[in-house]
Amino acid sequence: MKKTNNEKLKIIPLGGMNQVGMNITLFQYKDDIVVVDCGIAFPGEEMLGIDLVIPDASYLKMHLKKVRGFVITHGHEDHIGALPYILKDVNVPVYGSRLAIGLVENKLKEHGMMGSTTRKSVSAGQKVKLGQFNIEFIRTNHSIADAFALAITTPAGTIIHTGDFKIDYTPIHGRAIDLSRFAELGRQGVLALMADSTNAERKGYTMSESTVGKSFDMIFEEKKGRRLIVATFASNVDRVQQIVNAAKHYRRKVIVQGRSMVNVVGTASELGYLKMPKNMLTEIGDIGKYKDGQVVLVTTGSQGEPMAALSRMAAGTHRFISIQEGDVVILSSKPIPGNEKYVSKVINDLYRRGAEVIYEDTHVSGHAHQEELKLLHTLVKPQHFIPVHGEYRHLKKHAELAENLGLKKQNIFILDNGDALEIGQSGGAIVDKIACQPLLVDGLGVGDVGNVVLRDRQKLSQDGLIIVVVTIKKGTLEIVSGPDVVSRGFVYVRESSDVMDDAQKVVVKTLEKCQEKNIRGWAKIKNEVRQSLREHLWQTMKRNPMILPVIMEVD
Ligand SMILES: [Zn+2]
Ligand SMILES: [Zn+2]
């Protein structure tokens, strides 16, 4: 009989659980920590003015000496986007595919961090030793080339982490997922499987990415002579390749628009992931040299992002392109939940300008549906299962799927961000909770916008702001000038002079009262002004703006 193995390791997701995006999970065995992915999330609607959300790396900073490296599954923003921020504090080597590392390097260049960081490209099948960890990179399929699953082996056993994946027998770049390697590892014994849950609610199989190529061909054929504009995710290099293929076949020049699209197309071409005939790529400034039927524009903005190239074309604010009668716009993506209304606005704007909009048939998902998940589970035959990547409903559905395949409930763990799962041959348990409040990035500021600032922004966005400026004589409360009442986002002043006049009177009265009662001290006076104005506005208008009194003293 085999000796029982009492070794255990810890799995701690710092992000990516019960949310879409910000994937980051750390694995700890004794004095070694390995981190899988380091992504961003896009801000929720309530996070006003926030550009992006990054994970809290306090735990890694605290255990800095133990951290052996970041291991990247693929080059999507929700898996690599936070690296420039986190590497500033946790500067350890980053391992990933050539494409993923190329995309990481784009970011590091922007942050001036190329010289201070270490990156290492790996290929499918390769193994890397990090402390007591052995990491093997396994080829999968996804909506970006060179996506890897990971086999993470420690003395406690092997964990398989799928990253984002689907099963595509006819992928655009590279080969089909290495199913036989999953099967081999399954035969050797897998302590736990962590697998992509994004599409755990969807039945059947995802279509192959190559089916999209046929749709493009049909559209290019049918819309001969008309200007074509295709919007998709910059990171979906395989999709861009298929647009290029159709362009080649139908003799169109390709023009790339949008900063991230230009970046990704550049990197992917350089590294050989995107193959384009020489002279096919054309500058936007030269578009006038070609007839409508001789060009195709590939652009960002398929999610209706207001600042992206497509939205600007639709709004008529793009520097070079305005949408005109006869244009054909193809949205080659699906709105991410929450983005539907932005996408809808862009579609309306495009139609209004006379374009024809095609928003079906040119997209397939990059994430496994139920039947693909079942195949993977069956090959890997894990002792334990941890659903990853998704909102709670997706994790729950994926857990049910594993249960239906015969795994016992007590061997399935739905984790929350910060949960420390200790796991070994004898089972698993959540033994600790790590604080990991995500950090908000606003421009150059990281983490300096907290809940208080967000609450202010929400209040301002809902109720507006009133500023009262008054100058008083030093030592007395005699008004020298003002009070001036200024408002933003509260009422339109020109049509509401009464409101502003009344507000002014209230302030004057309050200052008189303060004098009578001999109230001194700025804080107190300001408070009185704020209070009386708030009561007045609530009584007369049932409104509650933010009130900011400014009191100046002169001699
Ligand atoms: Zn992905
Ligand atoms: Zn992802």
Per residue, what are the HEC states of 232-280? CCCCCHHHHHHHHHHHHHCCCEEEEECHHHHHHHHHHHHCCCCCCCCCC
Relative to the alpha carbon of 75, which ligand is closest? 1
> What ranges make up the beta strands (E) of 474-531?
479-488
The pLDDT tens digits for 268-296 are 999 999 999 989 999 999 999 999 999 99
Give the distance, in angstroms, between the CA of residue 433 and the centroid of all CA atoms in the same chain.
24
Relative to the alpha carbon of 79, which ligand is closest? 2
> What is the rounded distance in angstroms from the CA atom of residue 551 to the CA atom of residue 85?
40
- 482 C-alpha vs ligand 2 centroid, how far in Å? 56
Lowest mean pLDDT among 91-95, 183-187, 531-535: 531-535
Relative to the alpha carbon of 22, which ligand is closest? 2
Q: Where does residue 204 rank: exposed (0-12), middle (13-18), buried (19+ CB within 10 A)?
A: exposed
Average pLDDT over residues 384-404: 97
Residues in the 5 Å CB sphere of ion ligand 2: 78, 164
Are 138 and 154 spatial neighbours (Cβ–Cβ below 8 Å)? Answer: no
Tokens of 143: 């909506």
Tokens of 457: 């922004």
- 147 C-alpha vs ligand 1 centroid, how far in Å? 8
Query: How many other CB atoms are there within 10 angstroms of residue 454's CB atom?
Result: 18
> What is the rounded distance in angstroms from the CA atom of residue 178 to the CA atom of residue 73?
15
The pLDDT tens digits for 138-188 are 999 999 999 999 999 999 999 999 999 999 999 988 899 999 999 999 999
Greatest mean pLDDT range, 261-265, 314-318, 376-380, 502-506? 376-380
- 76 C-alpha vs ligand 2 centroid, how far in Å? 6
Give the distance, in angstroms, between the CA of residue 369 and the centroid of all CA atoms in the same chain.
22
Q: What is the mean pLDDT of the chain?
A: 90
- 273 C-alpha vs ligand 2 centroid, how far in Å? 20
Average pLDDT over residues 125-132: 98
pLDDT score recorded for residue 449: 65
CA-closest candidate to residue 298, choices 351, 240, 344:
240
Residue 450: pLDDT band with limits 50, 70, 90:
low
> What ranges make up the beta strands (E) of 416-495?
419-424, 427-433, 439-442, 445-446, 465-473, 479-488
Average pLDDT over residues 194-209: 96
86 versus 467: the higher-pLDDT residue is 86
Give the distance, in angstroms, between the CA of residue 389 and the centroid of all CA atoms in the same chain.
12
pLDDT score recorded for residue 154: 97
- 76 C-alpha vs ligand 1 centroid, how far in Å? 5
For residue 45, give the DSSP letter: T
- 6 C-alpha vs ligand 1 centroid, how far in Å? 35
Average pLDDT over residues 63-91: 96
Tokens 């990991």, located at residue: 436
**Annotated active-site residue in 76, 79, 367, 377:** 367
> What is the rounded distance in angstroms from the CA atom of residue 545 to the CA atom of residue 460?
7
**Annotated active-site residue in 78, 146, 196, 442:** 196
pLDDT score recorded for residue 72: 98
Relative to the alpha carbon of 196, which ligand is closest? 2
The pLDDT tens digits for 232-250 are 988 889 999 999 999 999 9
> What is the rounded distance in angstroms from the CA atom of residue 177 to the CA atom of residue 257?
32
pLDDT score recorded for residue 42: 79
Average pLDDT over residues 93-115: 95
- 356 C-alpha vs ligand 1 centroid, how far in Å? 30
For residue 85, give the DSSP letter: H
pLDDT score recorded for residue 492: 65
Helix pair 392-404, 370-380: axis angle to 10 deg: 50
Residue 1: pLDDT band with limits 50, 70, 90:
very low
- 41 C-alpha vs ligand 2 centroid, how far in Å? 10
C-alpha distances in Å from residue 547, one per residue of 248, 490, 497, 513, 532: 61, 11, 18, 19, 11
- 365 C-alpha vs ligand 2 centroid, how far in Å? 12
Tokens of 169: 């027998």
Residue 337 has pLDDT above 80, yes or no: no
Q: Is 555 one of the annotated active-site residues of the chain?
A: no
> Phi and psi (nearest 5°) for 161?
-115, 120
Tokens of 444: 């150059």
The pLDDT tens digits for 364-374 are 999 999 999 99
> What is the rounded distance in angstroms from the CA atom of residue 292 to the CA atom of residue 235?
27
Tokens of 307: 């600042």
Lowest mean pLDDT among 186-190, 389-393, 427-431, 544-548: 544-548
Residue 468: pLDDT band with limits 50, 70, 90:
confident
Relative to the alpha carbon of 235, which ligand is closest? 1
pLDDT score recorded for residue 494: 64
Relative to the alpha carbon of 41, which ligand is closest? 2
Average pLDDT over residues 399-406: 98
pLDDT score recorded for residue 278: 87
> What is the rounded distance in angstroms from the CA atom of residue 547 to the CA atom of residue 542?
15
Lowest mean pLDDT among 346-360, 487-501, 519-533: 487-501
Helix pair 179-188, 370-380: axis angle to 10 deg: 40
- 79 C-alpha vs ligand 1 centroid, how far in Å? 7
Q: Is 196 one of the annotated active-site residues of the chain?
A: yes
- 23 C-alpha vs ligand 1 centroid, how far in Å? 10
227 versus 554: the higher-pLDDT residue is 227
Taking CA 126 as the corner, what is the angle to CA 123 and CA 128, rounded to the nearest 5 degrees? 115
Taking CA 78 as the corner, what is the angle to CA 77 and CA 79, rounded to the nearest 5 degrees? 90
Average pLDDT over residues 4-12: 91
